[in-house]
Amino acid sequence: MKRILLFFIPALIFATSCKDLDDYDNINPKAPQIVPGATLVSNAQRMLVNTINTPDYNINPFRFYVQHWAATTYPDESQFVIENRAVNRFFWNPLYRDVLGDLHEGKRIITNDPLSNIVDATIKEKVRNNQLATIEVLEVYTWAVLVDTFGDIPYTEALNIENVLPKFDDDAAIYSDLVIRLDKAISMFDPDQVGLGTGDLYYNGNVASWIKFANSLKLRLGMTLADVAPDKAKAMVEAAAPNVFTSNAEDTQLNYLSVLPNRNQLYESLVQSGRNDYVGTSTLIDPMIATNDPRLNEYFKTVPDSSFYKGGTAGAPNSYANNSAPGAMLENPTLPGMLLTYSEVEFLLAEAVERGFVLTGTAAGTAEAHYNKAVTASIAEWGGTEAEAEDYLAQSTIAYATAPGDWKQKIGYQKWISLYSQPTQAWTEWRRLDAPNLKKPELAISEIPLRLTYPTTEANLNATNYAAAAAAIGGDVVTSRIFWDKM
């Protein structure tokens, strides 16, 4: 990843003064001289959630890829046009620059922080370890998103200002290293000591919550490896499962504020922009209507001036006035932005049981039990009741024993619905589980993307390493597969 640092030296004009420049110490009195490490972590947390969840099609087109939404006036991104607005660059840059860059610098500052407010040397070291482990978990999460999106990426040579032309590392090798790093981070946590405190926007420094998040992330990464490294996946999942989320209250999320600039990105695109760019697709809305899905009235609005729901056509221009727009709940500026949820964890546990993994502790149970918990948690997340979840699950087309398809299709279909507000992960899980069976839109310029192509800036400025990476993955095209996508 390349950074261009610009240093501006203002012209100082002294018409009558005879002061030496040294008298001014060359210091900008309005600029902070020392940035606390926790502040950098806070910004990284905010930018991470913003980037992976925003509906802005200039950054994150994945709601189109999984056919939750369709476009109205400007359908290019829903037809898988990537380069016109440099979608790949606008997803790549903030994750490298604003998330990993800030975490990297925050780690350096915290490592060198004397923690002078803590006298006991043993406690000081434990607190520092908690803070560094928190950063490490966030880094692992972000690197995994980049690999899942692009495949081979700059990793071992990235974030180094001395090397502006980093090589691209093998995606499978990166994942292997991320697993090692995550295990180390988990071992560093001490729940009896504090973490980043108010600098932590997800858990307010609660280390026990970070341990659960780290293990839930380990569960996710383990299941991602299940088709390509089943033994490794089994060991990871069985180790993590007893320590994962057990309720919606433990979700990893950013609680947005009602004022600028910290409102939910959905609010900014759906309300603040004054634009009407999105409607739901018939691909999602029609089956939700057919199964009386209690989330329907939260996911979508009725067609204007009517009492019915109607989905638009994926990959085509659609009329905003004649289709169902995203629901009013998504227009709440304080709607939390999600990184990882209890519902997703339960779907992963259901899959683990089907793959023959042995789950213990709070994770013990049948695939059906975990599936039911996952669906119920998703419905509750959107304001539904337990009774509504029971009625929904009682339908023959939804009940685990009678729903159509094999376990991948059953779990994958319901997971696709539940990840409605997590477009990046919804796209990853659709590629991994191959469910539901989405069809290429008629007007699309390619098959449904299995990856984003590399930013043009990499091809232009890091040409040799870019060319090697493109060759290694089978070509810099959207149909090249990430290493774990074997089906």
Angle between helices 207-224 and 230-240 (to 10 degrees): 160
Q: What is the pLDDT of residue 24?
A: 40
Both structure tokens of 422: 């997590």
352, part of any domain: no
User: What is the distance between the alpha carbons of residues 430 and 412, in angstroms, rounded to a whole number?
Assistant: 7
Q: How many CA atoms lie within 13 A of 308 on its CB side?
A: 6
Domain boundary (331, 357, 389) is at 331
- pLDDT tens figures, 121-143: 999 999 999 999 999 999 999 99
397, part of any domain: no
Q: What is the pLDDT of residue 116?
A: 83
Question: Do residues 283 and 200 share a domain?
Answer: no
Give the pairing of strands 278-280 and 69-71. Answer: antiparallel
Question: Do residues 190 and 54 share a domain?
Answer: yes
Question: Do residues 73 and 183 share a domain?
Answer: yes
User: What is the distance between the alpha carbons of residues 232 and 225, in angstroms, rounded to a whole number?
Assistant: 8
Q: What is the pLDDT of residue 28?
A: 53
Low-confidence ranges of the chain (pLDDT < 70): 1-35
The tokens 């729901």 sit on which residue? 309
**What is the total count of domains within the chain?**
2
Q: What is the pLDDT of residue 34?
A: 59
User: What is the distance between the alpha carbons of residues 192 and 379, in angstroms, rounded to a whole number?
Assistant: 34
Phi and psi torsions of 318, nearest 5°: -130, 155
323, part of any domain: yes
Q: Tell me the residue range of the domain where 104 lies.
A: 37-205+450-486
Q: What is the pLDDT of residue 172?
A: 98
223 near 244, Cβ under 8 Å? no
Domain boundary (283, 310, 331) is at 331
Q: What is the pLDDT of residue 118?
A: 86
439, part of any domain: no
User: What is the distance between the alpha carbons of residues 129 and 107, in angstroms, rounded to a whole number?
Assistant: 11
The tokens 């998703």 sit on which residue? 378
Question: Do residues 89 and 160 share a domain?
Answer: yes
Q: What is the pLDDT of residue 260?
A: 87
The tokens 């339908």 sit on which residue? 395
Domain boundary (275, 305, 331) is at 331
Q: What is the pLDDT of residue 11?
A: 27
User: What is the distance between the alpha carbons of residues 70 and 481, in angstroms, rounded to a whole number?
Assistant: 24
Q: What is the pLDDT of residue 234?
A: 98
Taking CB atoms within 8 Å and a gap of at least 24, the contacts of 395-404 are 395/291, 395/292, 397/291, 398/291, 400/367, 400/368, 400/371, 400/372, 401/368
User: What is the distance between the alpha carbons of residues 319 and 170, in angstroms, rounded to a whole number?
Assistant: 43
Residue 110's CATH number: 1.25.40.390
Question: Do residues 180 and 276 share a domain?
Answer: no
Sign of CA pseudo-dihedral 256, 257, 260, 261: negative
